[in-house]
Amino acid sequence: MPRKSATSRRGNEEPVLADAADATPALSREASRKSAKKGTGSLDDLTRTGLRAFLIARDAAFNVRDLLTQNSRMAFLAIKECEQELDVIERYIDDRLPAAITRVSEARARQLLTSLKCTTDLERIGDLMMSVAMRVQSRTTKMAASDVRQLVEMSAILREMLDLVYRGFVDLDLECARKVLQMDKDIDRVCHAVFQKHLTEHASQNNPSSFDVILMAQALERAGDHTTNLAEDLYSLIEGRSVRHPPKKRAAT
């Protein structure tokens, strides 16, 4: 099944990192890509383009499932396109943010910096999904059904995490960030089970695809880690502090 369009947004969702007064209908993905290549774009383009990167990464995770279960050529091409578009978006924001950030308030500067941090993680997720796709595409033998099932489970969790963190940025909803941080444990659990199954000497001798399966599971697990970074960035944007560094308790006087 080909990927869903990243521009098919539900309801009246608006770009999270733009101020309310800046809320305008999102440009199409094709228009965004052309704008990035031309080097044009306003502050609103930066924030809207950053938000679209969430949807593109989510599409990549969605298509990994189809590639694993159906070995779909269309799914492979969709993942490749997602990876390329995320590269373009990351460069676009990275190139233009330094000049843009000097023209805005401190609060808006924090929003733009968050956009840059997010697109960096999302670009890395695109790379990791492409690495999974390349390994699936290059295989000459069929993977065991149990391996496919576990990898599909990891990709499904990742897609849900990306969807949640996207909604969290749209609605500025901390509950979405909390859920994502919890779900990272689910990806780690499945990854650990894959490693346990394939890292024994007996398993590796009897299953020549063990190495590929381990590397695919590792890529999905690392993508989950990048998604938790996004959840932490959302937490920092809303709370004004890092979830990694809780405030120190004041000593009793």
| Residue ranges per structural domain of the chain | 20-239
Give the span between the Cα atoms of 133 and 8, in whole angstroms: 24
Neighbours of 206 (CB within 10 A): 9
**Phi, psi values for residue 163, rounded to 5°:** -65, -45
DSSP code of 14? -
pLDDT above 70 covers a percentage of the chain that reads: 74
Q: Is the pLDDT of residue 33 over 80?
A: no
Cα–Cα distances in Å, from 243 out to 99, 180, 235, 236, 240?
Answer: 29, 13, 7, 7, 9
Q: Among positive and negative, which fits the CA dihedral 190, 191, 194, 200?
A: negative
Threshold 0.85, pTM exceeds: no
Reference 52, options 109, 96, 92, 103; nearest CA is 92
DSSP code of 242? -
Cα–Cα distances in Å, from 113 out to 98, 101, 126, 144, 219?
Answer: 9, 8, 20, 43, 26
Instruction: Supply the pLDDT for residue 8.
Output: 35
Instruction: Supply the pLDDT for residue 11.
Output: 33
CATH 3.40.220.10 fits 20-239, yes or no: no
Q: What is the per-residue pLDDT across 121-173, written as a single tens digit (0 to 9) for each?
A: 999 999 999 999 999 998 888 888 999 999 999 999 999 999 999 999 999 99
User: 207 pLDDT band (50/70/90 cuts)?
Assistant: low
